[in-house]
């Protein structure tokens, strides 16, 4: 017993003389240990798993699952997605300039871009792609066909297409080109001395294209106010957002500060030049899909009291990502910091893993957020997006109009419509006639259109649960009465929702003749947020009052 005690005492004394490991050494050991375990598991699977492994697929799945546990924006991008990475930052790729989609088992042209090779060579929405460069596309995914359409600029592409109304295949051949998508989707005068610019993304030409569009509006229409639309703009490059803010505020103004674990992630972005439009009254339109750089722009404009924000609460993405190479052509888009706008607040949603079904930030109690002040002393809060100064709400319901959209029936009818109507009125004047609406209603009947509402799906789940609990027989009469009310009367629903159906159908038809710009021009005719903005900017409007505490 004495010997055992002496041995334990020796161990205790000896251990006290060993140097303590640093946190860095412990972290390095844990990394090495887990990488070793992963390597061993991978090799064991390769040797003993019953089926042959697809190494690339297994690794991609593993990485995706690992990164998904961190945040929604940290992702691995393999070499084959390099073109997508370039498009995210520059809006540039080489190809034909058209969007494609899958319908049933076919790949179709869904939207040719105006002025791009596809449109100039008469590729039309609704054309079914049969072959690309002599290779059949049957069975391929949208991304696989997209990869075939892309390529080196000035290389020949040959397409075989199936077109509605044509008995033979349509064959086209032309050169791929460098496609540069303009981040400014549309600009126009929308009211007396009021200009409008739609900014779709913050790619590396966003600031310069916006400056050019606003300068043209000032020169041609003598505008004194600007409505900047960044609804559905998911963000992009921080520098571009800072440059745009700099067009409206003094040089050297703090716009955004990033703070992360590493000192290299910490930086304050200041406006780089003297303002170009210092006197222009400014309204920024936002919605629940305005994110990241869009929130930097709208949030800093709000914090600096430089303009009025109109629309819906923004997405709530206050995280910064950097692109880092990880070998073999792959990249890691990794969250490195949070950003803070001029008032000092961070607009990151408190819980980015749980959102409403539409992706928007839920109601965040004031008790969980912190109050900040704008430059003029107005109260603003952190914890989940930018709350507009004039808050609007999309009160449209999930009705039959959107179930028709989900089944691509507007798209299919528009393809038929084009065959029978060589021209239509301009987007500013187009109105869907009662005759055309009746033709579409008949088309839905012909296609045996039917749908199941979300409420009916929940009802079916309730019935199944009731059966398990033995409640189905007790409430049999009530269940039958409820079901009778839930099954949609399609004819009645079409009549009751004619306005929404007509709007979505009109947008699809107009795109076939006037492309994306025509679609935007038509939608602005009934845009509630734009109407609110124009009212605020009137001489007796509340624009200046909105900027006061």
Active site residues: 292, 303, 317
Give the DSSP per-residue string, 277-292: STT-EEEEEE-TT--T
Give the DSSP per-residue string, 259-314: EESSGGG-EEEE--S--SSTT-EEEEEE-TT--THHHHHHHHHHHTTSSEEEES--
In which region does residue 483 sit, left (phi positive, over 0), alpha (psi from -120 to 50) or beta (all else)? Answer: alpha
Determine the Cα–Cα distance for residues 284 and 296; give it in Å rounded to an integer: 12
Residue in the block written with tokens 């010997």 = 3
Structure tokens at 473: 């027989």
Give the DSSP per-residue string, 51-62: S---HHHHHHHH
Contact criterion met (CB below 8 Å) for 179 and 113:
yes
Cα separations (Å) of 512 from 24, 114, 416, 515?
60, 10, 11, 6
Nearest to 519 by CA among 213, 107, 125, 225: 125
Give the DSSP per-residue string, 205-225: THHHHHHHHHHHHHHHH--SE
Residue 227: strand, helix, or coil: strand
Buried b (16+ CB within 10 A) or exposed e, 284-310: bbbbbbbbbbbbbbbbbbbbbbbbbbb
Structure tokens at 4: 């055992």
Contact criterion met (CB below 8 Å) for 424 and 510:
yes
Residue 196 bridge partners (DSSP): 188, 227
Residue in the block written with tokens 């021009």 = 521
């Amino acid at each position: 017993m004495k010997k055992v005690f002496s041995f334990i005492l020796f161990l205790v004394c000896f251990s006290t003389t060993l140097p303590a490991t640093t946190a860095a050494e412990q972290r390095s050991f844990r990394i090495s240990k887990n990488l070793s375990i992963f390597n061993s598991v991978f090799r064991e699977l390769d040797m003993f798993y019953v089926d042959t492994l697809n190494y690339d697929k297994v690794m991609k799945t593993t990485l995706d699952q690992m990164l998904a546990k961190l945040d929604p924006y940290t992702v691995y991008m393999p070499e084959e997605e390099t073109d997508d990475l370039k498009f995210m930052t520059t809006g540039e790729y080489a190809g034909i300039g058209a969007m494609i989609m899958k319908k049933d088992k076919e790949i179709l042209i869904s939207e040719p871009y105006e002025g791009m090779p596809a449109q100039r060579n008469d590729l039309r929405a609704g054309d079914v792609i049969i072959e690309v460069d002599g290779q059949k596309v049957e069975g391929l995914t949208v991304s696989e066909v997209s990869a075939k359409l892309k390529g080196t600029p000035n290389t020949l592409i040959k397409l075989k297409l199936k077109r509605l109304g044509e008995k033979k295949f349509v064959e086209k051949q032309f050169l791929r080109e460098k496609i540069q998508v303009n981040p400014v989707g549309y600009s126009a005068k929308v009211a007396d001395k009021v200009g409008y610019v739609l900014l779709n993304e913050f790619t590396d030409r966003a600031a310069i294209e916006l400056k050019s569009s606003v300068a043209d509006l000032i020169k041609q229409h003598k505008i004194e106010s600007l409505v900047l639309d960044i609804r559905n703009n998911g963000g992009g490059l921080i520098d571009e957002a800072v440059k745009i803010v700099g067009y409206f505020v003094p040089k050297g103004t703090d716009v955004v500060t990033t703070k992360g674990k590493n000192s290299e992630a910490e930086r304050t972005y200041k406006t780089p030049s003297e303002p170009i439009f210092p006197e222009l009254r400014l309204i920024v339109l936002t919605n629940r899909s305005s994110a990241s750089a869009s929130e930097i722009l709208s949030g800093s404009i709000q914090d600096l009291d430089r303009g009025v924000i109109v629309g819906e609460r923004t997405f709530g993405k206050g995280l910064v990502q950097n692109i880092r190479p990880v070998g073999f052509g792959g990249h890691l888009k990794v969250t490195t910091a949070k950003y803070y706008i001029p008032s000092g607040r961070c607009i990151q949603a408190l819980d980015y893993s749980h959102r409403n079904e539409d992706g928007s930030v839920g109601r965040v109690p004031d008790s969980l957020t912190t109050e900040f002040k704008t430059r003029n002393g107005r109260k603003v809060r952190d914890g989940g997006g930018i709350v507009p100064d004039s808050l609007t709400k999309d009160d449209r319901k999930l009705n039959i109009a959107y179930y028709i959209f989900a089944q691509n029936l507007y798209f299919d009818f528009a393809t038929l419509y084009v065959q029978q109507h060589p021209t239509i009125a301009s987007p500013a004047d187009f109105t869907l006639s009662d005759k055309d609406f009746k033709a579409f209603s008949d088309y839905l009947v012909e296609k045996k259109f039917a749908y199941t509402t979300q409420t009916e799906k929940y009802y079916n789940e309730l019935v199944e649960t009731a059966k398990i609990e033995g409640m189905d027989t007790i409430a049999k009469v009530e269940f039958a009465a409820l079901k009778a009310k839930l099954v949609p009367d399609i004819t009645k629903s079409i009549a009751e929702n004619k306005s929404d159906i007509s709007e979505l159908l009109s947008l699809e038809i107009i795109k076939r003749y006037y492309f994306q710009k025509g679609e935007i021009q038509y939608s602005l005719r009934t845009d509630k947020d734009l109407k609110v903005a124009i009212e605020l900017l009137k001489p007796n409007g509340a624009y200046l009052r909105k900027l006061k505490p």
